[in-house]
Amino acid sequence: MPVERMGRVSRGLRLAFALSSVIFLAVLAISPVKDLRREWKRYKRDYIRFAQTRPDTKRLLADYRPDIDQIWLPEMGVVDRCTTCHQGISQPSLAGASVPQPFRAHPPIPHRVQEWGCVVCHRGQGPATEVAEAHETTLAWEQPILPLHFIQGTCGSCHRDDLSETPQLNRGRQLIDQLNCAGCHRLQGIDRAVMLGPDLTNIGTKVTRAWIYKWLKEPRTIADADGNVSVNGVETGEETRMPKFRLTEPELRALSAYLSTQHATPIEAVKFDPRVIATWSKRPDVVDQGEIRFRQMFCSTCHSLAVTRAGETKLVGGDIGPELTKVGSKVKPEWLPAWLRDPQAYLPHSKMPRYGWSDEDLFKVTQYIQAKLTDSDLLNDVPQLGAPTADEIKTGKRLFFDKGCASCHLVEGLGTQKDFGPDLSGLGAKNVSQLEFGTSTIPRNLISYIQAKITDPLSVNPAARMPQYNLPPTDLDAVTTALLAMTGTPATSGIEKLIVPKHQPEFHPVGEFGKVYERYKCYVCHQFNGFGGTLAPDLSYEGSRTSRAWLVDFLKNPQTLRPTLILRMPQFNMSDHEASVIADYFEMVLQHPDVNSASFERSEFTPQMAVLGKELYEIKYQCQACHTVGASGGYVGPSLNNAGNWLTPAWIEAWLRNPQSLVPGTIEPHRAFTDVEVKALTAYLLTLRGAPGAGVSHASAGGQE
């Protein structure tokens, strides 16, 4: 290159430099421009403009910052930037559907949104700052926002105890417990029960091989013309506790052969008094009499029967025990009376009370069940099985384990099989990439996965051993919600102290009362100090509430319940001794600390007070809206016709002052009575002494149906 040309730049090169500088500048500008155009900044700017259209602009913009807003919950491992765009989330004036999203205020909930943020409940991606990434599933972010319909699932991650605000979650947990999911799966907050499915040690003494075959093939025996059963208008599989296993013909033969040979202890046939048989077996009305007795004993409190009206089949009755519509075609004739007389001799964990039967009643009811609760076509489609062969029995025993039967059912000589299915205690926190969808075409998210797995396990995994459950849609959603709540052991120890643990009280008294309590299974329907069923009133403070004489009378003859209740207390044919053991125990132990019956003398209530009380009852407070006295009044609360004999004065007074302090959640309104009014109303109620056993109402005084 000549010297004079050195340092001189050609035009072309200069142009190239100029162009590249421009490009360089432009490239440099990309970053700030991109930053300015970020989605969240647009929402920030929009919010200012929106706030200026509102009358309370100043308040709406008081906390405004142009940056990303963030809520950090270190103990939960949550970074939540949702309030960056959802800026009006805790502004009460922005409530209602007329306010455009994302500025609308959150509807009132028990938690403060400014403290907890959004993702704790709604899921989604807290740290994301773009609409799609925050709300939906993208490649990098796997947790989409939970549909609102399932949001109670996240409540359950921390609240392991049931909340009244989350009925769907509570129902789901109850179903998971009832359906014995814990037999095969490890679950969070639901323990393995002592008895899952029935003990099959003696199943050969109870049912025939043909019936076992039928049951294993199709565990639904009731169907209307369309093959459906509905309860309260909702289609259901009756006996949902036993799911449907997809068994082949040889498997059905083998399992039915194996099970029908299970008779470890022979049953002791009931020896009826020959005079009873002689009298009753000839009477044409024995079945009708048996039916009457069946009804009088309130078997339907726990057991349901199918009723077909206008082509629609409905189950009527309780669901504590199994449905009994065709039980007469199921069980062997010699087994039935032995079971009824002493259920625990066959099944030690049974919830069935041991009734005090007379031979006559037992004979009549057995005759009724075997004559009427039958279906002659039940076993029609079962092939001729013949006697079980040694080969079939051997295969059956192997299948009993391979199919997971041993997870729920006990057979003599075989231990229970635990953790047969996968551990589900952390299912609710699973990412989509951790789930196996197979060839299924369902949407790729956790909710559709769970629902497919329950309703049709083969659709997501052709090798699934999981049986098929036939749940109505509402129950399916409830179970899904409860499974979503099982997010496993918290990753950080700090979260442990935030978790509200499940409260599981137990109440098992000992001594004489303990025996009667176990015999009649009082706790299956009644609550005692937080333990027991919710079907019947809470008896924790029954000793304070009722007078002893009334209680003994009621236990002996509990037919006197209010007319609107369908579920009633069975008549157990209790002996005088048993009734007095119960009454003594109630009087001594089941006392409310604030109700002191010793401080009352019935004589302190004068007739003048009762006159005033009657006026208050009828005119000022109009208690007849809910209670019946004489023949008129409402039937929301119990009838008060026998209140004077039934209730203690101390209880009436304490109840009038504050009903919820005695029975939390009772629907009797808490009213502001003066002392004089309380005394007057008590005096009046004590004068109400209808004949015992006539129109006396007891149930739901505790506020629970």
Partner 1 sequence: MTRRLLMLALLLLTSLGFCACKKQPGAVAAQPLRNSYDSEVDWNDSTRVIPLSYQAAQGKRIFYQYCVWCHADATPAGPSNRSNLNPMPPLANDGAVLNSLSDDFLRNTIMLGGSAVGKSALMPPWGQTLKHDDIEAVITFYRAIAQPPYESPARSGPNLR
Contact residues toward partner 1 (CB under 8 A) are 12, 15-16, 19-20, 23, 26-27, 30, 34, 96, 107-109, 130-132, 135-136, 147-149, 151-152, 164-165, 167-168, 564-566, 619-622, 625-626, 633-636, 660, 665, 667, 669-672, 705
In terms of CB distance, is 225 or 619 closer to partner 1? Answer: 619
Taking the complex as a whole, the smallest distance from the CB of residue 132 to partner 1 amounts, in Å, to 4
CB atoms within 10 A of CB 33: 10
In terms of CB distance, is 296 or 622 closer to partner 1? Answer: 622
Q: Closest Cα to residue 338, out of 454, 455, 206?
A: 206
Residue 162 phi/psi, 5-degree rounding, is -70, 140
Cα-based distances in Å from 437 to 448, 627, 681: 10, 58, 67
Taking the complex as a whole, the smallest distance from the CB of residue 133 to partner 1 amounts, in Å, to 9
Taking the complex as a whole, the smallest distance from the CB of residue 16 to partner 1 amounts, in Å, to 6
**531 close to 517: Cβ distance less than 8 angstroms:** no
Taking the complex as a whole, the smallest distance from the CB of residue 108 to partner 1 amounts, in Å, to 6
Taking the complex as a whole, the smallest distance from the CB of residue 324 to partner 1 amounts, in Å, to 22
Strand-pairing partners, residue 78, are 73
Distance CA(527)–CA(540), nearest Å, equals 7
In terms of CB distance, is 167 or 422 closer to partner 1? Answer: 167
In terms of CB distance, is 55 or 284 closer to partner 1? Answer: 55
In terms of CB distance, is 262 or 639 closer to partner 1? Answer: 639
Distance CA(165)–CA(279), nearest Å, equals 58
Q: What's 536-584 look like in SS3?
A: CCECCCHHHHECHHHHHHHHHCCCCCCCCCCCCCCCCCCCHHHHHHHHH
Cis? peptide before 659, omega within 30° of 0: no
Tokens (6 digits) for 620: 């000022």
Tokens (6 digits) for 581: 């053991």
Taking the complex as a whole, the smallest distance from the CB of residue 384 to partner 1 amounts, in Å, to 48
Taking the complex as a whole, the smallest distance from the CB of residue 657 to partner 1 amounts, in Å, to 11
Taking the complex as a whole, the smallest distance from the CB of residue 440 to partner 1 amounts, in Å, to 19
In terms of CB distance, is 531 or 635 closer to partner 1? Answer: 635
Cβ neighbours of residue 95 under 8 Å, at least 6 residues apart?
104, 105, 107
In terms of CB distance, is 33 or 694 closer to partner 1? Answer: 33
Q: What stretches of 194-304 show up as alpha helix (H) in DSSP?
A: 203-206, 209-217, 249-260, 274-280, 286-296
Ordered DSSP codes for 447-473: HHHHHHHHH-HHHH-TT--PPB----H
Cβ neighbours of residue 359 under 8 Å, at least 6 residues apart?
272, 273, 276
Buried b (16+ CB within 10 A) or exposed e, 346-376: bbeebbbbbbebebbbbbbbbbbbbeebeee
Taking the complex as a whole, the smallest distance from the CB of residue 98 to partner 1 amounts, in Å, to 8
In terms of CB distance, is 74 or 669 closer to partner 1? Answer: 669
In terms of CB distance, is 473 or 501 closer to partner 1? Answer: 473
